[in-house]
Amino acid sequence: MNKIFFFSLLFLSSFVFAETVKVDSAALEFIRYKFYQGIEDEDQVDTLESYLVRMYGRDFNNIDPVITAYYGAIEALRGKYAFFPFTKLSYVNSSQEILAKAIEQEPHNLEIRFLRFSILHHIPGILGYGREREVDKNIIFNLLLQKDYSQLNIKRQEGIIEFMINSDRLSEEQTEELMKLTANFTFK
């Protein structure tokens, strides 16, 4: 009887203490590549979503927050390609809910914050996400100044800096700081 109880407890604990499914660097590169293709090609959005579902499932509590963020970004792309305004709005709201979950799990993750900021940059202010965009902008700025390339390499961060500067959402001082930062990059 004790053996049955022990194995039952062990079996149940595997669900209670399930580890978050992490993503390896090759898979993450593929996801990034497909996402950026999806910005211009709707078919790539379907390909990326199928890949994510197959590899990680849809339980946002048990997958890496960066993957959760890409699910949210996919919803935003679906909104981009939707025809009807109500459908677009529905996708935008869904996107922001999913991205908020990812941010809640890793509030200082540069990639997650940038995904949300880049989406919110293109969304009209009337939809009410201006506060989130402003918070993301400031967190991204501060994270870039830390020069931590452990999660996002210098080339990716240079791309983020370029986007941030071109967004015209930074203060003049922030823009100058980021321009100084790019002057220190060793490749060009």
Tens digit of each residue's pLDDT (9 = 90 or more) over 62-104: 999 999 999 999 999 999 999 999 999 999 999 999 999 999 9
With vertex at residue 58, the alpha carbon angle to CA 56 and CA 63, rounded to the nearest 5 degrees, is 50
pLDDT tens sequence across 99-151: 999 999 999 999 999 999 999 999 998 999 999 999 999 999 999 999 998 88
- Looking at the fold, whether 98 and 111 belong to one and the same domain comes out as no
- State the residue range of the domain holding 59: 20-106
State whether 98 and 115 are in the same domain. no
In 3D, which of 181, 118, 114 has the Cα closest to residue 154? 181
Distance CA 43, CA 85 (A): 21
Total residues found in the chain within this entry: 188
In this structure, the answer to whether residues 97 and 169 fall within a common structural domain is no
pTM for this predicted structure: 0.84
CA distance 84 to 185: 44
Q: Are residues 118 and 101 in the same domain?
A: no
Selection from 85, 81, 83, 89 nearest residue 40 by Cα: 81
What pLDDT is stored for residue 5 in this prediction?
A: 34
Single residue among 61, 86, 106 that ends a domain in this structure: 106
pLDDT at res. 18: 41
Looking up tokens 């399930």 gives 18
Structure tokens at 149: 């390339």
Helix (H) or strand (E) holding 177: helix 172-183
CA nearest neighbour of 140 among 124, 167, 129, 123: 167
Same domain, 180 and 167: yes
